[in-house]
Amino acid sequence: MFIAKVATWRAKRMGQDMNRQADVIVIGAGFGGINALWKLRGMGFDTLVLERGGEVGGTWYWNRYPGCRCDVPSMEYSVPWDPELDQQWDWTERYSGQSEILEYAKHLADRHDLRRDIIFNRTVTGICRDEGRGLWQVETDAGETYEARYVVTAAGCLSTPNLPDITGIRDFRGEMYHTGEWPHDHVTLAGKEVAVLGTGSTGVQASTAIAGEAGHLFVLQRTAQYSLPSLNRPLREEEKAEMKARYPEHRAWQRNSFAGQQMDPPAGMKAFDDPKKRRLEVYERAWRAGRQDLIACYADIGVDADVNAEVAEFARAKIRSIVNDPAIAEKLCPTANPIGTRRIIMDTGYFEIFNQDNVSLVDISEDPIDRFVENGVQLRSGRLIELDMLVIATGYDAVTGPLLAMNITGTGRVRLADVWRDGPRSYLGLMVKDFPNLFTITGPTSPTVHANVIFAIDQHVDWIADCLDYLQRNDIASIEPTDEAQDEWLAHVAEVGSRGLRASDTNNWYLGQNIPGKPRAFMTYAGGLNNYRARCDAVAQDGYRGFMLTRAEQDAVVE
């Protein structure tokens, strides 16, 4: 058996200059890393996790900005692999705040004794293939090298901050924080002049919360976005009990659903088959559901431009009805893209803050930022906005950023950065040719945030675990995809990604277009978690179709 062989190999290495060897090195201790550790350790693999932060939690460890909250309902945004905890844990709100999710992740680590296999405060600086020995060497910023036969990256898909290169930004002498690197110490907002740069999911959440505390808040908006009311509130005892009673079947359903979370099923019909009066009732009900239903209440909202325009207009009318000043309301009305082609934002009273005296909307598409100066931001018109604090909510170098930051070098010293020069190449979002035995959780061309990400992760971990079990049972030393399989997969991802109105919205992180110079490519798989799972399962059932498998002893290629 393979495990016995690894143990022998490890014993041989003991006493040499390596800091530590393991069967599997997992990078990251967010929900991906702790799921992988729990699963693989349970299968008997010696598993080591390297984590950049000082605690488990990943996204929820780093994103401590005011207002940070999950846009998936709490009772669904929790792991499906601990049914006992499903019954014990009491979520307090319909949509959990950051600190509660972080507590939950920490509790998972405690109850499964995960920390003994996690090394915290280690940033991976290099991952290099030692071909002769069939191992990966993983280097950290602490100067250590770890070795393993398998590497599983779980470094997150929204974890490398995008820091905008705006003239003078380093000259600003006030406090300056990117939301994804928010200080652990208390940040005082009271009485301060604060600007939030960015109006995506993060900027909207941060602005809504900061407006309640700051002396004055300036929301620097380049593109207005659609945002739906989450209607967050404390969870009622009876709804918690109801979900707990049906958790076993609901978890199974989530694993096999399109998005890993419950939404009102789409009407299944075309919008214009209903009369206008009825359509407006449907939109109104969807708006008041406190979920993402508005973008899914008819089957053709993402496909038919006229239907989409009507729904978008409905959303704009809501903004106009909330914001008192018609000129400000108009600037807040999104027109740049169809509704639902980007991750829809869920808010807790965002548009309402623009009725407060201490909040100003600054339309930087109309009057762009000229430069930052020591005491604030200067607009092209000459207007100077004096600031004590700049909150940078400009998003992430998504999906590929965290992987490229680790300087991965594969077979023949090929660099991942070179392989991905024109966009990421991957098979199933799980593996890359020339990088054998290196698996990516929430990697490029996998579903990531198109589904409840905890469930996207759960699928990856299960697939990787089954794969390692297969390799072990069949005495296979390494696995990597073929070029043909990657090409075929990438073509499928592109075809799915280009369907409907999504194709007309090109300036977003799904395509890497939020980062200057990043090649335009499909970062995510938009075909649904259930369909993705079926494809991955079919590949495995077919003896890992599209992969090259190499036997342990003879170095013989099996398929």
Residues of the shown chain interacting with ligand NAP in the complex, contacts defined by CB under 6 A: 69-71, 158, 164, 166, 197-203, 205, 222-223, 343, 393-396, 449, 509, 514
For ligand NAP, the closer of residues 393 and 467 by Cβ is: 393
Least distance from ligand NAP to the Cβ atom of residue 485, Å: 28
For ligand NAP, the closer of residues 244 and 343 by Cβ is: 343
For ligand NAP, the closer of residues 136 and 354 by Cβ is: 354
CA distance 147 to 23: 8
Q: If DSSP states are collapsed to H, E and C, what string results for 469-488?
A: HHHHHCCEEEEEECHHHHHH
Q: If DSSP states are collapsed to H, E and C, what string results for 317-344?
A: HHHHHHCCCHHHHHHHCCCCCCCCCCCC
What number of helices (H) and strands (E) belong to the chain?
A: 15, 20
Nearest Cα residue to 41 out of 148, 103, 105, 113: 113
The CA angle 43-49-54, to the nearest 5 degrees, is: 140
C-alpha torsion 456→529→510→224, nearest 10: -100
Nearest Cα residue to 441 out of 455, 425, 423: 455
Least distance from ligand NAP to the Cβ atom of residue 72, Å: 7
How many Cβ atoms are within 10 Å of 256's Cβ, its own excluded?
13
For ligand NAP, the closer of residues 183 and 368 by Cβ is: 368
Least distance from ligand NAP to the Cβ atom of residue 412, Å: 35
Phi/psi for 295 (5° steps) reads -90, 5
Least distance from ligand NAP to the Cβ atom of residue 318, Å: 19
For ligand NAP, the closer of residues 183 and 191 by Cβ is: 183
Least distance from ligand NAP to the Cβ atom of residue 194, Å: 16
For ligand NAP, the closer of residues 271 and 353 by Cβ is: 353
For ligand NAP, the closer of residues 118 and 346 by Cβ is: 346
For ligand NAP, the closer of residues 126 and 212 by Cβ is: 212
The two tokens of residue 209 are 């919360």
For ligand NAP, the closer of residues 395 and 410 by Cβ is: 395
Least distance from ligand NAP to the Cβ atom of residue 416, Å: 23
CA distance 537 to 134: 26
**Integer CA distances (angstroms), 99 to 34, 82, 239, 243, in order:** 18, 20, 22, 22
For ligand NAP, the closer of residues 197 and 329 by Cβ is: 197
Alpha helices in 256-356 (DSSP H): 276-287, 305-322, 326-332
The two tokens of residue 102 are 């972080």
Q: What is the DSSP string of 429-485?
A: TTB-TT-TTEEETT-TTB-GGGS-HHHHHHHHHHHHHHHHHHHHHTTEEEEEE-HHH
The two tokens of residue 363 are 């339309």
For ligand NAP, the closer of residues 202 and 261 by Cβ is: 202
67-78 burial: b if 16+ Cβ within 10 Å, else e = bbbbbbbbbbbb
For ligand NAP, the closer of residues 70 and 127 by Cβ is: 70
Least distance from ligand NAP to the Cβ atom of residue 130, Å: 36
Least distance from ligand NAP to the Cβ atom of residue 539, Å: 27
Least distance from ligand NAP to the Cβ atom of residue 231, Å: 14
Coil/strand/helix, residue 275: coil
Least distance from ligand NAP to the Cβ atom of residue 284, Å: 23
Q: Taken in order 447, 392, 403, 520, is the CA torsion positive or negative?
A: positive
The two tokens of residue 108 are 């998972």
Half-sphere exposure (Cβ direction) of 155: Cα atoms closer than 13 Å: 28
Least distance from ligand NAP to the Cβ atom of residue 426, Å: 19
Least distance from ligand NAP to the Cβ atom of residue 51, Å: 20
